[in-house]
Amino acid sequence: MATNNLKENTNWAALSLTRFVLAFVVMVWHLKEFANITSLQWLYNMGSFEAVLGFLLISGFSIGISISNNKEHFFKRRLQRIYPVYLACIALTVAIAGLHLNITGIATLIANVFFLNQVVTEVSYIPAAWSLSLEVWLYCLAPLLLKLKKNQLLYLIGFSFLCYVLYTCGRTLFNWRYYAGIPFGLNLLLLSFIWLAGFNKATSYNKKQSNAIIGLLLLGTAGLTIAIQTAYRIKNHDIDLLITDLPVFLGKTICLAIPYFTLVHNAKITAFKPAFTKIANLLGNISYPLYLSHAITFVFLKKMQVTNTSLYIITALVVGTVLYYIFDFYSRKRRRTY
């Protein structure tokens, strides 16, 4: 199992900075619906889904470290971390976008409050919260996962990845839904592989094996994307257009590579200077509220007829920062403790 040495020897500032970069990628990806992002196309090419996979990988590792070192009050710590900001973002969303005052609307809101979006309803009041719902259910399973034998955990990782590959192919062949709209909690089956891989790294003594698993999963994910798009071009006799897909292939691969190298080669990352560590940790802390609040912030700005791209980005960052300082009591308390 993981030890305190792994927790102490991890460059958490580097992981925090990575989380912010991933949140920024997701924000830019959604920004395309509201403003001109020509100058940010390279970030858009990195892909919001790939960024979500990076989030899940780091989350699995962090949770594995947390529960291995301190099982007491694990669920309380998780609730303190995610709920205040989440509820604040739901309230912000309802205030700006409104709420259908009928049984269906209220029931959907309640389902979202208890992270049952993507389980009993396909609607997420906060668009990005579909992945948070998945994380919460994985948090609930963490104590059980910690008791599994290593080969059992590896089987789960492999089975989930196989389901992901099959479903991704099905999305192309049969136009199955994107992961954000899948009901019945099926994302737990389809996408838990990368979270479990991070969890496995945190709780396994065999670091070479756990690192290799992460690398193979991310390489397989990138390879699957390239293979499907290449097959699509060949099928439609557009093989000459494949060169136009190269920036997207490169962007998505880079987006997967960033969390890989930050986590797998974390020990090789030079420790940041104190001032930069504080900045990196702050950016990491605001990544969560930024991830949840940017979409409704953009909706509000569009209602105000704002068109300036920089203003969209700055406002989203400000809102995320304000939400962190007002509602993320747990992270600020933890930061002071350190």
Please state which of the ranges 29-38, 90-99, 156-165, 285-294 shows the lowest mean pLDDT: 90-99
What is the structure's pLDDT at 181?
82
**Over residues 239-253, mean pLDDT:** 96
Among 1, 58, 11, 5, smallest CA distance to 268 is for: 11
Among 294, 291, 295, 290, smallest CA distance to 320 is for: 290
Contacts of 162 (CB under 8 A, 6+ apart): none
Reported as a pLDDT band with limits 50, 70 and 90, residue 152 is: very high
What is the structure's pLDDT at 264?
96
**In the structure encoding, which two tokens stand for residue 320, read together?**
């995320």
What is the structure's pLDDT at 99?
83
What is the structure's pLDDT at 7?
65
| CA distance to 21, 54, 82, 106, 177, per residue, from 17 (Å) | 6, 12, 19, 37, 31
Q: Domain count for the chain, please give it.
A: 1
**Over residues 106-115, mean pLDDT:** 91
What is the structure's pLDDT at 332?
76
- Has residue 335 got a pLDDT over 70? no
Domain coverage including residue 208:
4-337
pLDDT in tens, 41-57: 999 999 999 999 999 99
Alpha-carbon distance 152 to 204, whole Å? 12
**Over residues 128-144, mean pLDDT:** 95
Q: In percent, how much of the chain has pLDDT > 70?
A: 96
Alpha-carbon distance 227 to 250, whole Å? 14
| CA distance to 73, 153, 214, 215, per residue, from 261 (Å) | 31, 23, 10, 9
| CA distance to 49, 138, 259, 323, 330, per residue, from 215 (Å) | 17, 21, 10, 34, 32
What is the structure's pLDDT at 9?
84
For 169-185, give one letter per residue: b (16+ CB within 10 A) or e: eeeeeeeeeebbebeee
